Amino acid sequence: PWAAYWELSARLGEAPASEIQDFFSRYHGTYQEDRLRAEWLLLLGRNRDWGMFNREYARYRMGDDRSIRCYALLAEHLATGQDTTAQVKDHWLGLREADEGCAAAAEQLLKDHTSSRLMVWQRARLGMENDRLKVVNQAVEMVSPSSLKTLHQIYLHPTKFLGDKLTALQTKTRELVVLALIRQAYLDPAGAAKELDKLRWKTQLNQEERSWVWGVIGKRAAQKLLPEAADYFQRAHSSHLHEEHLAWQV
């Protein structure tokens, strides 16, 4: 089974559907069958072959791939118009690396439901706090492609960006400030705490945005075993924190 799996997996994009189905029949019920099906589902999702995708997804037993689940939610949204933002958010924000499935679902939802914008910005925040610039770029390009140049400046020099005399009244500007504070927290949590305590950010950022940044500051302080970590977490509203922040708070 493993030899057959690796041989077919290596040329899955060119193999005819009949040969793939023969593999499924020959190795029905095995781990190799479901593993190859998972790879094929990702390929079908990328190709937007929703008819074949839905038929094979019903046979997918492991069900543990977040990207495949996002493709399924995208197919459901396209077929029914249902707003699947909450479900896509659960899967997308749980991925540490950039992916195609959840990004495709998020991009479509962003076109159809403006309420999905916060989910995309939160994905960018998580990418920044985990030092995954590719994740940040992927998300920001969806909501504000004109900000990519500024984003790279933020990544390299967050304190310089925060020191500029900018007014964070528009959503885009506030989110860029949040990303800069998150980047500063990754590099220097104590410095970020001092910056976030300034009156300008208390008045210009909303409660959700400030709480998220305090969550990142607390998380980074906890990772560095700083005694101030618990106090940083206390300054956030727990209802606005991501589950990763809450885990580090505990």
| Cα–Cα distance measured from residue 222 to residue 101, given in angstroms and rounded to the nearest whole number | 32
User: So what's the pLDDT on residue 165?
Assistant: 79
Query: Rounded to 5 degrees, what are φ and ψ at 36?
Result: -65, -35
Share of the chain above pLDDT 70, in %: 100
Residue pair 142/107 in contact by the 8 Å Cβ criterion: yes
User: Average pLDDT of 93-101?
Assistant: 94
User: Average pLDDT of 128-154?
Assistant: 97
| Of 32-41, 83-92, 143-152, 167-176, the least confident | 167-176
Between 167 and 152, residue with greater pLDDT: 152
User: So what's the pLDDT on residue 168?
Assistant: 81
Question: At residue 114, does pLDDT exceed 90?
Answer: no
Alpha-helical regions (H) of 164-228: 171-187, 189-196, 199-204, 207-223
Q: For the residues of 137-166, what is the DSSP string, one character each?
A: HHHHHHH-GGGHHHHHHHHH-HHHHHHS--
